[in-house]
Every structure is written in structure tokens, then in C-alpha cells.
Chain A
Amino acid sequence: MSDVSSANYFALFSLPRHLHVDLPALEKAFYAQSRRLHPDRFAAKPVEEQERALRASSDLNDAYRTLKDPIGRTQYLLTLEGVEMEEQSRAATDAARASGGQKKQVVPPELLEEVFELNMQLQEMRAAKQMGEEEPDLRADLERARVEFAGKMEQTQTKLESLWTRWDAAEDADDDAGRQAVKTSMVELLNRRSYLRNLLRDVNDALQS
């Protein structure tokens, strides 16, 4: 699969397929390549070549932005590794349909329960607010929820970084079982994170309105 690996973002910047990224090295590689593709250098070249450079430059920007962002590069690596989050969910539905059984949820049930309960609380708070009730505790409840969710978000960041370390080690040791285990944990963590992010956004909205 040399064609794929040569096209992947890590290879583009001559970086190992690690999740702890040497950001200064990434930035340096990005600027060096950007200069190489600068439109001024193609001004005298045929139009096709100018266009190719422009496309390459735009891809380079995408690559840089993706790898610079912690969540972006984790998701990107999972995509490279053949994990499609939505695809995974759809495949589980198909399997359930075929067996007539229940779908294996990609999100742990405890997390769903938690998210559901938090949404219920949030809705109650919003409803009380809409009724114009001057619940003195309401704002305090929302503030507490905000602090709670923000704290949980921070925990996912810490957890993510420890998974990066495990991934990098598995990659260096070419340990396939290790890679598989970390991938599963990363998918779970990203799912949890997207729920938390939405909850946090909703709480912030409720506090502002």
C-alpha cells in the first residue's frame, strides 16, 4: 500500500505515524513545503502545472490543519486505520437486522444513561426558565452543570493523551493487538467527547439565553 502511505498526511511531512506530534517540526515542514508550492514559482509555468501546484498547496493546508489539531489528527489516524465512526454504527445495525437481535451499541450504555439524564436535567432547567420562573437555584444548577461538563471534557483530554502514548508505543513495536485495543478505546473516547461537547454547548446556550 505504498501509494496510500505516500499520500497520507504524516508521510507528507515526513513524520512518524505517531499521535504525539512534534509541533515545531510539523510547522517547519509545512512552511518549507508551502514555499516550494508558492504560486510565484509557477507564474511562468503552463496553466496545468499552476493548477496542480494550487491543488497540492490546498491539500497541504488541509494536512497541516488536521495534524495540528489534537482531535483532528486522532480522527484522521482512525480513518487511515480503516475506522469509520458512522460506518461502524451502520455495520452494527446491519448485523443486528440480520440476526434479528439487538444492535451492539458503539457507545457504552452507562454513557448513554448519563447523557440522557443530563439532557433531562438541562431540559427541566430550560423549561423552568421559559416559564419565567425565578428559580433562584436554576442558574446555580446550570453553572454547576457547566463546571461538571467542562471538567469531564478536560478529563477526556488527559485520557486521550495517555491513549496517544499507548498508540505510539504499539506503532513503534509494530504490535498489532496493541494497536487494535488502543483504536477501540480511542473511538469510545471520541464518542464520549462528542456527547460532552454537545452538552456543554447546550448548557452554555441555556446560561446565555
Chain B
Amino acid sequence: MAYSDKVVDHYENPRNVGTLDKGSSEVGTGLVGAPECGDVMRLQIRVNPETQVIEDAKFKTFGCGSAIASSSLATEWVKGKTVSEALTISNTEIVKELALPPVKIHCSVLAEDAIRAAIGDWKKKNNVAEGAEAPAAAVAAH
């Protein structure tokens, strides 16, 4: 199966590979997996406590090219977004951007799961109730 150019680009030049300080209260860590293919993905975000803007994001993924590309793209997309904006990113947008074939859709699902898991971890650390983050519309004037 041929990968799309965008997948190859993210695979060969992955953006934001690395680690953020797991112990920091500003950092949220999401670790998710897709047992069907044995992939594991860790996505971390650093959130500005004042603005709730995601200022940095890092990932480390063990998996196929599509899983790596999906998580690489996810880190690019969450950066600069507020927490609530990032929660609106869906796997279908990732599928579209990377032109993933049906058999690789679960990779994009994994990336969406990872974003949610990282945000969930950050919320837990900062005692932000689920759904109680600053509403997207109020923070971001589109």
C-alpha cells in the first residue's frame, strides 16, 4: 500500500518528537494504544495556566507510518489552540489531511484519543472539571 506524500513527509520529518516534564502541573500526558496493530502513542501538551493555550506539544509513537504521521500532525494542530479548541479536533480531519486509506483510520482515531487523554490528564492535575474549560467561542475570536 502506498502512503500519501503527506504521510511520508511527517514520517520522514516528524514534528515535535520528544518529551515534556511529566511532573509539571502545566503538562498533560496522554498514553494510548491500538491493540489491533500493537501501536502505542504518547502525546504531551504544555498549557499556559493563564490563557489555557497549548504552547508546546510533543509526541513519541511506536507504530506504523500512519500512526506516526497522525500523531505528528496532531501535535502541530494543537499548538497555539486553547484546550477547548483542541478538543474539537476530530479524527476525520486527520484522515482528510493525510489522505489515510480506510485500513489506517484507526491511526487517526488513536491521535484523537491521545489529544483527549493529554487534555484529560492536564485537567485532572489542575482540578478543571470535565467540560468546565473556558468555552472555545469566548477565548478564540475566529
A residues within 8 Å of B by Cβ?
A: 85-86, 89-90, 93, 96-97, 99-103, 105-107, 109, 111-113, 115-116, 119-120, 123, 190-192, 194-195, 197-199
Contacts and interface: CB of A to CB of B under 8 A. Distances in A.
Interface stretch (B8-16, B30-38, B45-53, B69-77): B30-38
Going nearest first, the 7 A-B pairs with the smallest beta carbon separation are A198-B38, A102-B120, A191-B35, A119-B62, A103-B113, A101-B130, A112-B33
A195 B35 contact: yes
Contact of B106 (A86, A115, A119, A191): A86
B107 to A, nearest CB: 12
B82 interface: no
B62 A102 contact: no
B87 interface: yes
A101 B38 contact: no
Contacts, number: 78
> Main SS of the interface on chain A?
helix
Nearest to B124: A102
Contact of B117 (A103, A116, A119, A120): A103
> Main SS of the interface on chain B?
mixed
B36 A194 contact: yes
B90 interface: yes
B90 A97 contact: yes
B66 interface: no
A195 B38 contact: yes
Given A96-B116, A116-B62, A107 B33 contact: yes
